[in-house]
Amino acid sequence: MTGNDTKSFHSYRLGNMFNVHLQDGICPELQEKIEHCRADAEPAHLTIAKGDSRPNMFHYPQQKLHFVDDDFFPVVVAWPPVADELLVSDGRYEVVWQDGVYEISPSKVIISGGVVDSFLEHQVLRPLINSALVPQGALLVHGGAVRIDGKVILILGESGKTSIILGLMAQGADYLGDEHVFLDTKGVCTTYTPYLDMDDRHFVLFPELLDTCYPDRHERSKVERRLSFFRMGGNLRGGNFLSRQLRELLTTRSYFKGLTCRFDRPFPQVKMCEPTPITHVFHLEASQKKENVFPTTAMDIARVETASTWIHQGYNYQMARLAGMPHLELPMMEQVFAEALSHAECNRLRVRLRQQRTKEDVDRRIDEIIRTIG
């Protein structure tokens, strides 16, 4: 596969740390999300380019699998990969996803066939960013951050981050990140993208955001009809099989059919912060226990969050190792993560499970955060 050099490229400097050259038009959603990082051309850590428009792929609808006919060696990893097939060669590897083939090397990604922006960003770009940054003492972490009353709060955890970030911005906090942020070993937090990922749960918890997020009355009415099913499911009680199934059906019917938008669309008054050291970390833990906030250590949080990252993206590092590429090891990421958090006061924050969360629960947790930071 060869990249198309006749197309124009744009340069981006993500987090003031990682340089990407991106072929224009190849992944417009990702390009829009990182447009605030547009920079003059510099030596790139990574170039993302379009390859052949029609890769030699075979489809097996009965097995719901796609395979590619290439000179790479097929490799089966020890856990189910997120892609249909992984192939490895000397110093590079391929991932097959839907109608696209992603050829990955330390400095270049060439995509043949269809491009899925979310797959490229989540499963290719982010692991490659960390492979480059962690040895330099920085990393891209799965978390959101805001600044309020001069304090910079980092929220980590699998579920509940966006609800708390929205609640804090509603109280006047400025934005640093929603889903991912950059951290370095000095504790400095830098925005990855100014975009929020909001879904039905968030509009149920913050219905006042509907007007600013959906100014068109017709579009807003469609969203409100969808939310009525979500609310109906959330209000269902009972622990028998039928109740659980009905609740699951109603609350997932439109789940994740939400809105990806800039943070200042729902909150026009909120500003984006410059890179700033974190002062407080809250690691979310799903629990019904009464004690809601309690201190913990930077290493304890780093172990959990690094393991979570490894579960989601570890196959990338395994493929890099098999291909003979420079690769990242879990203990190194864990140590950098812990050092980045060591400059802040670290706490665990207990939250309800996703489907049990109410507006009162979220408000109570936000009050506890503000009380804890003083």
Parallel, antiparallel, or unpaired for β 280-286 and 151-156? parallel
* CA separation for the pair 334, 355 (Å, rounded): 31
Supply the pLDDT for residue 330: 94
**Burial track 39-48 (b if 16+ CB lie within 10 A, e otherwise):** eeeeebbbbb
* CA separation for the pair 355, 245 (Å, rounded): 13
Residue 120: is its pLDDT beyond 90?
Answer: yes
Q: What percent of the chain has pLDDT over 70?
A: 90
Residues 6+ apart with CB under 8 A from 18: 45, 46, 129, 132, 133
Q: Confirm whether pTM is higher than 0.85.
A: yes
pLDDT (mean) for 154-160: 90
Which segment of 5-14, 64-73, 245-254 scores lowest on mean pLDDT?
A: 245-254
Banded model confidence at residue 54, pLDDT cuts 50, 70, 90: confident
Which segment of 119-123, 208-212, 215-219, 252-256 scores lowest on mean pLDDT?
A: 252-256
Q: Which amino acid is at 193?
A: T
Structure tokens at 365: 């947790």
DSSP summary character for residue 120: I
More confident residue, 7 or 372: 372
The separation between CA 316 and the C-alpha centre of its own chain, rounded to angstroms, equals 16
Q: Alpha carbon of 93 to those of 109, 110, 290, 318, 359: distances in Å?
A: 10, 11, 48, 10, 46
DSSP, collapsed to helix, strand or coil, labels residue 337 as helix
Backbone φ and ψ of 241, nearest 5° = -60, -45
Residues 6+ apart with CB under 8 A from 80: none
R_g of the chain computed on alpha carbons = 21
Residue 31: is its pLDDT beyond 70?
Answer: yes
Q: Alpha carbon of 165 to those of 100, 172, 177, 205, 364: distances in Å?
A: 34, 11, 8, 12, 13
Banded model confidence at residue 1, pLDDT cuts 50, 70, 90: very low
Q: What is the 3-state secondary structure (H, E, C) of 339-350?
A: HHHCCCEEEEEE
Q: Alpha carbon of 98 to those of 68, 166, 256: distances in Å?
A: 11, 34, 20
Structure tokens at 186: 């000095």
Residue 291: is its pLDDT beyond 70?
Answer: no
CA 193, 29, 251, 207 torsion-angle sign: positive
More confident residue, 222 or 295: 295
* Domain at 138-199+264-373: CATH code: 3.90.228.20
